[in-house]
Amino acid sequence: MQTNLQSIYSPHLKTSTKIVSTLNENRQTNQQSSTGKIKRLVLNQQGRTKLNIYQDQEFYAYPRLVTHVDDGFISTLTNLYRERLRPDTEILDLMSSWVSHLPSDVNYKRVVGHGMNSQELAKNPRLDYFFIKDLNKDQQFEFESCTFDAVLCTVSVQYLQQPEKVFAEVFRLLKPGGVFIVSFSNRMFYEKAISSWREGTSYSRVQLVVQYFQSVEGFTEAEVIRKLPTATNDNDKSPFDWIMRLFGLFSGSDPFYAVIAYRNFKPIHDK
């Protein structure tokens, strides 16, 4: 019986191996070709709308040299960057401003800034250079694929009308194992935030960003970090509550949220 089995299968061994190998190669090729692609759209058309319908370049035409979150938020974010961003790496700071949240005592190979106002970006001491682009009009960057070790987006994700395309483009720019850190609080320019963000709660906004990551093939499972105020309720459903906090009429500190994912795999670094 053993001899018969060998005689039956031996002539086809190379052919069978080749077929299996070809199938594996095709499967890997298909997986690679879908990596970085948008699997599904998170927002409907209504969810992408803004109250202020004028062009973003008009809204951001003059510099706003103010801090959009409090010191506690900034300290938490800086510590997170210290933990997750390795020295001597290349970083893209999306939708940046005149304030840097990177730790001042850490040297990075290159920090590229993106934003809508050149006067603000010119005042940011950590940027090696910067460029202007309206991501609600054009979601493609001129950089080559796999250029950056990290991409950051601080308190600005709420203004993206095409977040799926932006996240897919960030994936393209990241090196394998590169990290995308999206942080936000409950403050916003209410008239410029998209409808899905304006009408949401803190929980739904976190889930929205998680879904942005999930919409792109190849990101790792999103990690959520929260640091909430202990002495105040976060009733950010109401526009009135947000306006009160914006003008400093609430004494509570800003809640901190960050959603983090990596391209393809999460690297493990020696401590």
Average pLDDT, the chain: 82
**pLDDT band for position 29 (cuts 50, 70, 90):** very low
Look at residue 210 in the predicted model and tell me its pLDDT: 98
Task: Read off the pLDDT band of 35 (50, 70, 90).
Answer: confident
Indicate the pLDDT class of residue 130, thresholds 50, 70 and 90. Answer: very high
Task: Say what percent of the chain tops pLDDT 90.
Answer: 59
Average pLDDT over residues 98-110: 93
Q: Give the position of tokens 């960003």.
A: 209
Instruction: Give the 3-state secondary structure of residue 206.
Output: helix
* 54 contact partners, CB below 8 Å, separation of at least 6: none
Per-residue pLDDT at 3 exceeds 50? no
Structural fold of domain 37-230+251-263: Rossmann fold (3.40.50)
User: Which residue has tokens 């290159």?
Assistant: 110
Sheet of 148-154, strand order: 129-132, 110-115, 90-94, 148-154, 174-184, 256-262, 223-227
Tell me: the pLDDT tens digits for 171-210? 999 999 999 999 999 988 888 899 999 999 999 999 999 9
- The pLDDT confidence band at residue 41, using thresholds 50, 70 and 90, is very high
pTM of the predicted structure, to 2 decimals: 0.78
Which residues, in sequence order, are CB contacts of 249 under 8 Å at separation 6+?
Answer: none
**Domain boundaries of the chain, sorted by first residue:** 37-230+251-263
